[in-house]
Amino acid sequence: MKIGAYTACLHDKPLPEALSILAAFGLESAEINSGGFIPEPHLPIRDILASEQARQDYLGIFADHGITLTALNCNGNPLHPNAIVRDKHSADLIRSIEVAALLGVTRVVAMSGTPAASATGTNPAWNVLPWDSAYLDVRDYQWNEVAIPFWRNVQERAAHFDVKIAIEMHPHNVVYNPATLLRLVESINATHVGAELDPSHLFWQGIDPIEAVGHLGGLIYNAAAKDTRINAAARINGVLDDRFDRVRPDAPGAVSLGGPYILSRWPTDSSWDFVAVGRGHDVTWWRGFLQVLEQVDPGMAVNIEHEDQELGQLEGLGSAAKTLLEAAGR
């Protein structure tokens, strides 16, 4: 098992410096962004596509730091009803498969995407709990008309290049839990589309990630290490909490998600928060999580995703690395 980190939290630093930081924390794996919602400053895509020498030089940077490149990450919304977003994110994902193959990387992390509720819709619509048949109509459209055709094509391309697509089961996507992951896999007869097991999104949905690993088994191709803390506000508002605020596109620190869309401001009294590994669940829990992943695949890469807003960049990454390495017995 390889313990590492997704380098998006270090995008302000050149790749060699980012890899030096990972190595200093005792990590051995790196996951690099290849498009989608955020830029890819650590991946010179044009050079990699154009030149074998550029590919060898790029991989040499990782070797020089004792780090293995284990996955590309192309999280976005390839099913977005706005063509500006959809065309970029879907093209980024398709391109990422070829880039991964050229680099000898066998995993690409992605999100399944979210279409509109109908063919005339202009905004994504996350459709869950279809107790009213109107929502079953939405589900049928989103899956049968949009998601399944798109992902069938991705499956074909991934199989051609022999690269596994690990879908992050992320709410606000058509695939957000094990049941929807299995629905997609079965609908497209997948051989190269499976799951990334990120426990953080499962925690706040009330899903036991360890039981999810047992349920999905060999369909898990990659794992993320990100923790979640359930706060006292959840006892009043539950975990489905819409108290987010708008952020102006020109505001300091505004994060673009493609087209006209901006990352919203998190509630101040939130029902739950993403936190560094160990700040939501202790080292004993993480030890058990790593053990069941290792049973699925002894070579599994588990990469830290640092999104703890209460800890600084290196503080949060270092804290997560310490806990995760202790859980791994290292």
pLDDT tens profile 248-287? 999 998 999 999 999 999 999 999 999 999 999 999 999 9
How many CB atoms within 10 Å of residue 309? 11
pLDDT at 306: 96
The model's pLDDT over 180-196, given as tens digits with 9 standing for 90+, comes to 999 999 999 999 999 99
Asked whether residue 244 is domain-assigned, the answer is: no
Domain for residue 251, yes or no? no
Asked if residue 256 belongs to a domain, the reply is no
pLDDT tens-digit readout, 55-105: 999 999 999 999 999 999 999 999 999 999 999 999 999 999 999 999 999
Single pTM value for the model: 0.96
Burial of 292 (0-12, 13-18, 19+ CB in 10 A): middle
Percent of the chain at pLDDT > 70 equals: 100
- pLDDT, residue 236, reads 96
Query: How confident is the model over 193-234, as pLDDT tens digits?
Result: 999 999 999 999 999 999 999 999 999 999 999 999 999 999
Overall number of domains in the chain: 1
pLDDT of residue 115: 98
Using CB atoms within 10 Å of the CB of residue 50, give its burial: 0 to 12 exposed, 13 to 18 middle, 19+ buried. Answer: exposed
The answer to whether residue 138 sits within a structural domain is: yes
Question: What is the residue range of 43's domain?
Answer: 2-232+266-327
- Report the CATH number that the domain containing residue 181 is assigned in CATH: 3.20.20.150
Residue 240 inside a domain? The answer is: no
- Supply the pLDDT for residue 93: 98
| 51 domain-assigned | yes
194 within some domain: yes
What is the per-residue burial (b if ≥16 Cβ within 10 Å, else e) of 95-120? bbbbbbbbbebbbbbbbbbbbbbeee
Coil, strand or helix at 293: helix
104 within a domain of the structure (yes/no): yes
